């Protein structure tokens, strides 16, 4: 199983803790140490599972908007996006549980024209205000269809580290990685009002594979 590059520090700490706690359990509890070691082993394996990088065939897309993460669609709503679009947009939000793959992918193909990191709160990720009040990143891409699409990584109550690797001027390719969020969180995509929304609330998405919307050809 291939592991994500963001796993190194977490797995190192988890390994040290597992070995130390396991050794203490064996020393003090003898045969009863299994009551401690088995749950620790399950948690240790889950850490590896969290950082897995699945093998996926990413296709080329022009007007398609691709699911940027694995998770569940929890919101489709017309909102005011005041950071970059500065006007109305359709917000599609996808919630990730700690068991989902947490690689963040470009939802559209084009050119990165804006990026910014915002410190903030750690409200639960499904809270509507988390999009504007939580720690988050914002990226905007000018698409091949001449639209501006904004997407936002949002840290949640559990997720306390979000990273993004893109820079202004980079070429964005739908379905390809641009960042990572550690543990459960959310990602929002802000689309033009005339976008054809294909997904619906409750849909389970696979990042890089599922089409969630289609942009109008200009």
**Catalytic site residues?**
185
Name the token pair of 203: 């849909």
Sheet holding 148-155, edge to edge: 171-172, 110-118, 136-143, 148-155, 185-191, 87-96, 71-81, 204-205
- CA separation, residue 31 to residues 37, 38, 39 (Å): 10, 12, 15
Q: 3-state class of 50 per DSSP? A: helix
Structure tokens at 185: 């969180």
The CA distances from residue 186 to 54, 104, 142, 145, in Å, are 19, 10, 22, 26
Beta bridge partners of 103: 180
The two three-digit tokens of residue 129, written as one number: 């205000």
Using CA atoms, how far residue 194 sits from 74, 78, 148, 212, 214, in Å, is 20, 11, 12, 14, 9
């Amino acid at each position: 199983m291939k592991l994500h590059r963001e796993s190194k520090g977490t797995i190192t700490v988890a390994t040290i803790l597992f070995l130390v706690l396991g050794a203490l359990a064996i020393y003090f509890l003898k045969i009863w140490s299994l009551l401690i070691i088995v749950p620790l082993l399950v948690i240790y394996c889950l850490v590896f599972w969290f950082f897995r990088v699945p093998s996926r065939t990413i296709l080329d897309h022009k007007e398609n908007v691709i699911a940027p993460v694995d998770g569940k669609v929890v919101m489709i709503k017309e909102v005011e996006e005041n950071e970059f679009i500065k006007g109305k947009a359709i917000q599609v939000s996808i919630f990730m549980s700690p068991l989902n793959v947490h690689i963040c992918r470009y939802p559209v193909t084009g050119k990165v024209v804006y990026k910014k990191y915002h410190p903030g709160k750690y409200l639960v990720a499904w809270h509507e205000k988390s999009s504007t009040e939580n720690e988050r990143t914002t990226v905007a891409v000018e698409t091949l269809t001449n639209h501006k699409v904004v997407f936002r990584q949002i840290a949640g109550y559990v997720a306390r580290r979000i990273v993004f690797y893109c820079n202004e001027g980079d070429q964005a390719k739908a379905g390809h990685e641009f960042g990572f969020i550690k543990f459960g969180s959310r990602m929002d995509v802000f689309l033009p009002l005339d976008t054809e929304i294909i997904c619906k609330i409750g849909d389970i998405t696979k990042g890089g594979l599922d089409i969630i919307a289609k942009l109008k050809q200009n």
